[in-house]
Amino acid sequence: MSKLACFAAGLAAILALAAVGAANEKPSADAILAALRKGFAGVNDCRATVTLTVKGPQVSINEMKMTLYYKKPNKVHIEAERGIAMFPRGALFGNPVQELGNGGRADYVRSERKLGVDCYVLRLTAPGARPGAHATVWVDKKHTVVVAAESTGTADMKTSWRYQTIDDKYYLPVQMNAELHPQAGPDTAGVIKSTIRFSNYRINKGVSDRVFESKPPTQDSDPHLRRRYRK
């Protein structure tokens, strides 16, 4: 074998070993978070129909229809077709990555399949969280979106998302399911289940800033729901 052939064979072996090492190396939680934060980067503004159903011992909402408006960088307005708009709140009803905020911690846990999707599993701990309080998030490896999350805290919450490609370009949520399990105690109300469906997306068609003008504030009537006007 010539020196050139030996060198080529050795180089191929080195590259093969390097590839194996890279494949076995744990993904960076920070890199996954950075990719999540870039999600929906092409959506400058959005309008969608939101349908909310909530069932629990002390609350019942049957397919409340609302219109969701969004505009970069962080303008959000939700308007009910009738009455006052109500929207579930809590870290995992929004983007768990955004809820992490500055100073939070993210750790890569493992890779596994969740809801039929190959996922990275991350553990997120928000700044100032009490001991043991954290969120576990499953991130779709292919589309880099959150497909499921579980949180611990004053109440345990489980959420899952289903997505579709909109306008042959944008991979956006079309349904989110959530279960809230209050911790056992004398005032425990039982499990609260909710479903949020998103439809009739209008992406990058323009949303007036006037939509986001402040509305008169109202008080919450339920600790797990909020009437949301502006963010």
Question: How many Cβ atoms are within 10 Å of 209's Cβ, its own excluded?
Answer: 8
CA–CA distance, 198 with 86 (Å, rounded to integer):
15
Delimit the domains of the chain by residue range: 28-226
The answer to whether the beta carbons of residues 85 and 228 sit under 8 Å apart is: yes
Residue 154: its pLDDT value, please?
65
- Thinking of the domain 28-226, which architecture would CATH place it in? Clam (2.50)
CA–CA distance, 90 with 155 (Å, rounded to integer):
10
Q: Indicate the pTM of the whole model.
A: 0.74
Task: Please report the DSSP string for 216-231 in residue order.
Answer: -----SSTTEE-----
CA–CA distance, 109 with 125 (Å, rounded to integer):
13
Instruction: Give the tens place of pLDDT for each residue, 162-219.
Output: 999 999 999 999 999 988 887 665 555 688 898 999 999 999 999 999 988 866 544 3
**Residues of the chain predicted below pLDDT 50:** 1-24, 90-94, 217-231
Identify the sign of the CA torsion 60, 224, 107, 22: positive
